[in-house]
Structure 1
Amino acid sequence: MTAQNAFSPIAGTAEFTADGETVLACQLLVLGAGPGGYSAAFRASDLGIATVLVDQRPTLGGVCLNVGCIPSKALLHTMAVVDAANALSAQGIAFGAPQIDATKLAAHKDAVVKKLTDGLAAMAKARKVRVIQGTGRFRDPHHLEVAAADGDAPKIVRFESAIIAAGSEAATLPFVPSDPRIVDSTGALELRAVPKKMLVLGGGIIGLEMATVYSVLGARVDVVEMLDGLMPGADRDLVAVWQKMNASRFDRIMLKTKAVAIDAKLDGIHVEFAGEAAPEQPQRYDLILVAVGRQPNGKRIAAEKAGVDISDKGFIAVDRQMRTNAHHIYAIGDIVGEPMLAHKAVHQGHVAAENAAGGKSFFDARQIPSVAYTDPEIAWTGLTEQDAKARNVAFKKAVFPWVASGRALANGRAEGLTKLLFDPETHRLLGGAIVGTHAGDLIAEICLGLELGADATDIGRTILPHPTLSETIGMSAEAFEGVCTDLLPASR
């Protein structure tokens, strides 16, 4: 291991008692068992490093697997099937109104989560990764105190190196009262009841995904967003397609508006608004989802006692090897900055683990994709038009409308579009975005193109299967080069 250790290297994990405390000694401590944390622990173990993984939850997977990405996608898939069944009436196939059992739906979602968490537990056991449940806080540069969830005496983990993967938590608003009818994304996923009237505070991806679920279940939904558009980060032409398709779901989309007072009464939650689209009178809701972003957990783990610098907002700065200012401590995932995405954390976790094992790995991703799993989905990666204009980066774009896609028309889902951005001189791919069904899966080809440095000719001359939605990527590249035969010829 690294030469800066304060004590002799440890051959494996060892548990002993010192000064009346239970001490578990290991080579590597990983704090946080989300996608980045467990991936780091498993990679380190595969490299022969004795690893201890600490998390406050009884199951591995963190927020993403237990109360975030996975359960929300289980519900969104079911809701998409319901919507698709309803849409078939226009094609001559009619079903009766769906009979929704929210309890069974929640059980299905929980079963999906359990299958995955059970699998992670088995993989941790097979790799001999020691898992400790409890809340971890650093005591000094080589010791972590773990407060047990069951109230037992805390354990002390003594480590040579550490990877901080403590993640983030849902942001709160100071004027929001405590009431079971006011929930964050975790509470919304519990499906305690289906409200008649729902308000989503925040027009980002998380809020709109849950708005989709509750809308299909029968709720009427309002959304309030301080900014001038929904889904910040996505280009406006993509969001416009989504918004047109989903107009019927919402009673109000209040942009440049904010909630300024919330009063919990017996008959519902009453909300007063201010801003351009604010109603004159307070509005009553049965359920409010607070989805105003996430904040890092940097200030909850006493990292400063380990010598790790923490910003005022709770972020931890790292270099390209994911190393903090404390040479033997690494940090990954949400806690090191935006974008707060599980797939970013996983790759950073691998880099950190390899470096903790004495390697020399770097996190040098050329792109990190983002996906809104709404209906239609919106996915983008690399440079967006918004980014390019803000940074004064020259680009040219090509757009292939799905109305010219045989597969999209056959699917009855021709509302989408595929957009690619290219360097005007080299024709090298700079970024891409898709709005439409399965956009989150389709974006993978654009991710690979960016990582490999592809240009428009590379993409356009790649033979893709017909008829598929993936063809829209190749046709976008052909349109850029002026050789697409599936669109009208460019004016001369």
Structure 2
Amino acid sequence: MKYDIIVIGSGPGGYIAAVRASQLGKKVAIIEKYSTLGGTCLNVGCIPSKALLDSSHHYYDAVYHFEEHGISVSKPSFDFSKMIERKANVVETTTGGIKYLMDKNKIDVFEGLGSFEDATHVKITKNDGSSEVIEGTNIIIATGSKPASLPFIKLDKERIITSTEALKLSEVPKNLIVIGGGVIGLELGSVYARLGADVKVIEYAPKITPTMDGEISKELQKVLKKQGMDFFVSHGVKSVERNGNEITVKATNKKGEEVTFTGDYCLVSVGRKPYTEGLGLEKVGVKVNEKGQIEINNHLQTNISNIYAIGDVVKGAMLAHKAEEEGVVVAEFIAGEKPHIDYNLIPGIVYTWPEVGAVGKTEEELIASKIDYKAGKFSMRALGRSRASGDVDGFVKVLADKKTDEILGVHMVGARVADLIMEAAVAMEFRASAEDLARICHGHPTYSEAVKEAAKAAWDGKPLNS
């Protein structure tokens, strides 16, 4: 069978690339080695983690916040198995939706491991050992990533676990040690902290969310600490050992002193690494760098011109929405269009509560680049909407060019900022100034007013409500 485009991998990047290519009139096949479509994001990543975050958030609100709203209930309890069951149902519905999209767009789906025979032929090895070969004029690699670890850690996937196992535990840990204070560690740490686990987060860098703006990291750590999570930054983990149901983690702090942590579970969340095993890249000579990433040009082409790569297997942030955009770009490029993607405007989001949203440059990046900038900041506590809902933690910060007033970066901590950050991304796509954003009439009372106020603070230093 011959296709215009073969996509290997059905995660957000792969299935979106397939859909867009089909919309543009291409004959498309997609290959997925697992029995369900959707990749890491839909099966063991973004979607199930948000389901558990929402369930645990409802419980936490019932325990700690209902009373202040005048709602009296008997002491709330939770059925963890039902939470896990609900999460599984959300995943099943969502992955089923991807199957519907494949059918609707007349995309042929092949289940099995895809590997290159040559630059235009892909062998599909099925679970029963049988195989078939299909031909594609163009091939898109979208095989994603898998959890990374440290070389001395033995992941038993029972007590020493990755995010995959953390999403399907049979019990809430009593004492959860989280190695890594990035997005995954904080989100899953939040889930279990809300449900009563004692959570300790160990981070090698001097701050959590190391790639984010420093003020954001500081505010988020303060709020999560208030919620009961403990943080140990500038700590380098040296060993992780299991003895029965007890896990012992030894780390060295910045003074060089050894610190010991004990718990019944240890979540290793030190990032993810590109997943290219079994693809047979060496057969066709596709270049891979020292980080295991497939090398690409500005059109996401590999060194073999008809083979493309997108998402977590290439350079850049490992984000589902980044993969989706790259999938669209490749499909349109192959179809002869002239798409573009601005990597500076891909938002970063943390789905704790309060949430974190960021787009553009951090203050640290602007300082390192010696760019003259001005900053405007507005506290969520000063908003009527925040006081009404009781979500008063956090702030919005707008960074703008000192001379031109163009917005260079926006960073937020607060209620619903995972959605709110897109206001900033849209403004920056059109190269808006802080004054532009400040002069747009925002609904009242809304959380979005914090963006207007922070923009005004950056523009003329005079927010109206603080």
TM bracket (short chain): over 0.9
Structure 1 window deviating more from structure 2 (275-284 vs 191-200): it is 275-284
Relative to structure 1, the CA distance from residue 58 to residue 266 in structure 2 (aligned partners, 3 Å threshold; closer, same or farther) is same
Following superposition, the deviation at residue 482 of structure 1 comes to 2.6
1:135 corresponds to: 113
Relative to structure 1, the CA distance from residue 410 to residue 252 in structure 2 (aligned partners, 3 Å threshold; closer, same or farther) is closer
1:203 corresponds to: 181
> Tell me, what secondary structure is at the counterpart of 2:136?
strand
Provide the C-alpha distance between the structure 2 equivalents of 1:46 and 1:172, rounded to a whole number of angstroms.
39
1:81 corresponds to: 58
1:27 corresponds to: 4
Provide the C-alpha distance between the structure 2 equivalents of 1:391 and 1:483, rounded to a whole number of angstroms.
24
Provide the C-alpha distance between the structure 2 equivalents of 1:285 and 1:64, rounded to a whole number of angstroms.
28
Following superposition, the deviation at residue 380 of structure 1 comes to 0.4
Provide the C-alpha distance between the structure 1 equivalents of 2:448 and 2:194, rounded to a whole number of angstroms.
28
Following superposition, the deviation at residue 422 of structure 1 comes to 0.4
Relative to structure 1, the CA distance from residue 87 to residue 58 in structure 2 (aligned partners, 3 Å threshold; closer, same or farther) is same
Following superposition, the deviation at residue 200 of structure 1 comes to 0.3
Following superposition, the deviation at residue 485 of structure 1 comes to 5.4
In terms of Rg, which structure is larger? 1
1:438 to 394, 400, 416: 416
Residues matched between the structures, number: 464
Relative to structure 1, the CA distance from residue 257 to residue 409 in structure 2 (aligned partners, 3 Å threshold; closer, same or farther) is same
Following superposition, the deviation at residue 341 of structure 1 comes to 0.7
Following superposition, the deviation at residue 267 of structure 1 comes to 4.0
2:29 corresponds to: 52
2:383 is the counterpart of 1:416: no
8 Å contact 1:321–1:361 — kept in the other structure?
Answer: no
**Unpaired segments ≥5 residues, structure 2:** none
Partner deviation per Cα, 1:370-398 (whole Å, 9 max, x = no partner)? 00111111110011112112222221110
Provide the C-alpha distance between the structure 2 equivalents of 1:248 and 1:458, rounded to a whole number of angstroms.
36
The AA in structure 1 aligned to 2:115 is R
Following superposition, the deviation at residue 92 of structure 1 comes to 4.2
2:140 to 163, 169, 194: 163
2:316 corresponds to: 338
The AA in structure 1 aligned to 2:48 is P
> Tell me, what secondary structure is at the counterpart of 1:140?
coil
The AA in structure 1 aligned to 2:348 is S
Provide the C-alpha distance between the structure 2 equivalents of 1:278 and 1:251, rounded to a whole number of angstroms.
24
2:288 to 302, 310, 316: 310
Provide the C-alpha distance between the structure 2 equivalents of 1:53 and 1:251, rounded to a whole number of angstroms.
42
Following superposition, the deviation at residue 202 of structure 1 comes to 0.6
> Tell me, what secondary structure is at the counterpart of 1:211?
helix
Provide the C-alpha distance between the structure 1 equivalents of 2:282 and 2:159, rounded to a whole number of angstroms.
37
Following superposition, the deviation at residue 299 of structure 1 comes to 5.1
Following superposition, the deviation at residue 91 of structure 1 comes to 4.5
Provide the C-alpha distance between the structure 2 equivalents of 1:205 and 1:154, rounded to a whole number of angstroms.
39
Structure 1 window deviating more from structure 2 (297-306 vs 160-169): it is 297-306
Following superposition, the deviation at residue 483 of structure 1 comes to 7.0
The AA in structure 1 aligned to 2:292 is G
2:209 is the counterpart of 1:231: yes
1:40 corresponds to: 17
> Tell me, what secondary structure is at the counterpart of 1:271?
strand
1:379 corresponds to: 357
Provide the C-alpha distance between the structure 1 equivalents of 2:106 and 2:255, rounded to a whole number of angstroms.
56
2:405 corresponds to: 427
Relative to structure 1, the CA distance from residue 404 to residue 296 in structure 2 (aligned partners, 3 Å threshold; closer, same or farther) is same
> Tell me, what secondary structure is at the counterpart of 1:166?
coil
